[in-house]
Amino acid sequence: MRKEENYFDNIDELFTQAFELEDNNLIDSLQFEGENFVDYEHYSEGGIKEIFLCRDRRTNRRVAMAVLKDTADTKKTEAFLREAKINAALQHPNIVPIYEMGIDEKKPWFAMKFIAGSSLAEIIEDLNAESPARLADLSQRLDVFNKVCDAIAYAHSLGVLHLDIKPDNIRISNYGDVVVCDWGLADIEATICDEQLLEYCTILEYDLDHQTLDGTVKGTPGYMAPEQTSIVKIRKGRHTDIFALGTLLYSLLTLEKPFKGDSLENILSNTAKGNFIKPSTLKADLPASLEAICLKAMQVKPEDRYLSVEALQKDLEAYRNGFATYAEKASILKLLKLLIYRHKMLFSLACLLFFLIPISTLFLLRNMELSKTNIEQENEKLLLEQEIHRQRGKDSAPLFLERAQENLKIFDYDTSLRFCNEALERDQEMLAAWKLKAYLHFIKEEYQNCLDAFTKAGVKNGRIIALAKNSLLLEQISEPKEKLQQRMDQLTRLHSQKDMKTFSFFMHNIVHNDLPLVDRLKLCRYIIGLRNKRADNEVFNFRYDSKSRTLDISNNPWIKIAHCLQNFPADTIIASNTSIRHGGNFYNKHLINLDISNTDVMELRTLKCQNLKNLKISGTIIHDLSPLEEYALVSLDISHTPIRYLNFVPKTPSLKQLYIHQGQFQKQQFKWLRKDIEVITK
C-alpha cells in the first residue's frame, strides 16, 4: 500500500471517532429540573394582564407570556382564559399563535409567539412625524391591510368575531410578518361555529377594565362600529368587523383616526351618526376607488356595508388590478379610462394605427389615381356586366339563398323554403338552391318534390335520394294509419347512417306538427330510446298523467338528449335524476312546472318556457339565475346548488316560495328578504 493511501485512511478514522460520541447533549437539554420558562423581562401591560418576555428552555426560543394580574376576580379569570382558548383555536399565518397554557401559583398564563417589530399604530405615528419609517408607500400599506383581511376572513369562517380591530392590535415584524393580536373582546357566532367553540360563545355580562373602552360599550373609540356604542341598538356580527376594517383602511389611507371629538360622548355620537371627514379631504391625491371602498365598509347601516370580508378584498383587488370597484358604481367614462389604463400598450398601438391608416390611405389613393387611366375601360365593362345581372335579378339570388340557410338553422322550414324559391326565381341555374330545396322537401316529408328538386340540381345518387324513393314507395302501398311507424323507421335509418343533422331537422318537423297525443307519446318514447344508450337491465321510466297533464321521465340516468320533448303538450315535466345537460330540451310555450333537479344542466339561458311558474333545480351546478328574471316564477327550489346570494329575489317580484338547504345563506341575508316569501329549508 502506498503512503498516500494509508494517510487518507487515518484521516477517515479520525472523523469517524469524532462524531461517534457517547454523550448526547441535545437529549440532556430536555432533561432539567425547575421551571421551563426563565429569564423573565417585563414587556407591556394591559387591562387585566401583563406581558413578559421569557425564554423557553425546551425549545430555547424567546416567547411572550401573558399573565393575569388579578386572580381574585373569577370573572376576569374566565375572560382571560376565554381569550386564550379562542386565540388558540385560530391557526393562521396572520394570527399570533398560542404555544402553551398553564397556571402558576393560581395565576393563569399563556405563552405565544413574540413578534419582534412594531405595532401598526407606532408605524402610523412615525409616518405622521415625517421621520424615516416603514410602509411609506401606500401599496405596502394595502398589502398589510389585505393580510389583516385574510386573518379576519379566516376567523369569520370559523364563526369567530374579533370586535376590536385597530392599529394597536396589528403587529408587523422586522421581516414583514403581519399578525392580528389581542382577541380579548372576541365573540363566537353560535350558528356557524364548530362545536368545540360553542362553550366560549357567551360574552361575560360584566365589563372588564382594559385599554379598550368597556362599560356600556365594547370597543375602541375612534375605531368601533356604530352598533358597538350604546346609542345604536343593532346586534353585533361580521358586519361589525367589516366596519372596523373600514376604519383601519381609513387610517392607512389618511394616517388619521376616523372618529374624533372633544369628549368621549362626542366621539361616540360621531361614531353612531357616521360623522367623519372624508379621506379625500385629508389626502387630495387619494384615488377615488380606494375612498369608495373605505366609505362602503364604513356605512352606518350594516346592510349597506360589504356582505363579507372576501367581498371587500375582491373590490380592493379590482382597484389594484386596474378595474372598477363595486363600491364606486363607476360611469361608462370611468370604465373606459380604466380599460385604457390597463391596456396602455394596445391603446398606444391603436392611436398609432389611427394616424397611420389615413396616411397610408392617402398614399394608396395617390397610386390609384396614377393607374386610373389604365383601368377605366375595365371598370366600364364590369359596371355594364353588373347592370345586366342586376336587371336579370341574379345578383340578389345568393342573398335569398343565404336567408334560406339561416332559417333552416332555426328550424323555420316554411320560411326557408320560401326564400329558396325566391332565389330560384332569380337564378334557375343556382344548383345550391336546388339542393337546399330538395333537402327541405325531404324534411317536410314531400318526397316527390324532393326527388324533382334533386333532378334539377343534377344529383342522381345519395343517401337522401335513396331514403326519399323508399319512403315514396311506402306511401303508395301503405295505409294512413301506418304513417307514424314509417316516420319512426325513417328516423331509425337516419340514426343508423349517423346523419344526425338530418335526423335533428326531420325529428323537429315531426314533433312540432299537431300529432295526436297518443302518437306524440309513442314517438317521444321511441326517439329518447333511440338517441340515448341504455343497458338492457336499465329501467325506462316514461309516464304521462292525462288528468294533471304531467310527463314523468325522472330516474333515467342514461337519458342525455330529449329534444323531442320541445313543445310537448304538458303542464308539468319531471326530468329529475337524468343526465340531461341542455335547457333547450324543454323549450315549451305550454309548460308551467319543470323539475330538472339532480341533472347535468349547467345554465338556464337556453331554457325558453314563457309560462313557467314553478322550477326545481336542486342538486345542479347552476349558479346564474339572471335568465329567470323574464319569468313570473311563484316557486323556486335552489337547494344544494352553488347559489350563495339572494340578490336575484328583488328581480323576481312574483316569487312566493323559496326552497333552500341548511346553511346555504348567511343569516343576515334573510333580513332583506320580502316578508311574503315563504322560505322552506330541506
Determine the longest span between alpha carbons in the chain, in angstroms.
Answer: 114
Q: Indicate whether 211 pLDDT > 50.
A: no
Q: Indicate whether 593 pLDDT > 50.
A: yes
* pLDDT > 70 fraction of the chain, expressed in percent and rounded: 82
Mean local confidence (pLDDT), 3-20: 52
Contact 53, 43 (CB under 8 A): yes
Q: Indicate whether 520 pLDDT > 50.
A: yes
Q: Which domains does the chain have, with CATH numbers?
A: 40-113 (3.30.200.20), 117-325 (1.10.510.10), 388-513 (1.25.40.10)
CA distance 594 to 576: 9
Q: What is the pLDDT of residue 78?
A: 84
Mean local confidence (pLDDT), 115-125: 89
Query: What contacts 264, CB < 8 A, 6 or more positions away?
Result: 213, 221
CA distance 274 to 231: 12
Closest listed residue to residue 156, CA positions, set 71, 244, 79, 43: 244
pLDDT tens digits for range 291-323 = 989 999 999 999 999 999 999 999 898 888 877
Q: What is the pLDDT of residue 341?
A: 61
pTM for the structure as a whole: 0.47
CA distance 186 to 80: 11
Q: What is the pLDDT of residue 360?
A: 72
Mean local confidence (pLDDT), 42-54: 85
DSSP β-ladder status, 678-681 and 543-545? unpaired
Q: Which residues of 524-533 are buried (b: 16+ CB within 10 A; e: fewer)?
A: bebbbebbbe
CA distance 397 to 336: 43
pLDDT tens digits for range 474-509 = 777 767 667 888 888 888 888 888 888 888 888 888
The mean pLDDT of the chain is: 83
Mean local confidence (pLDDT), 185-195: 77
Query: Which residue carries 341598538 as its cell?
Result: 233
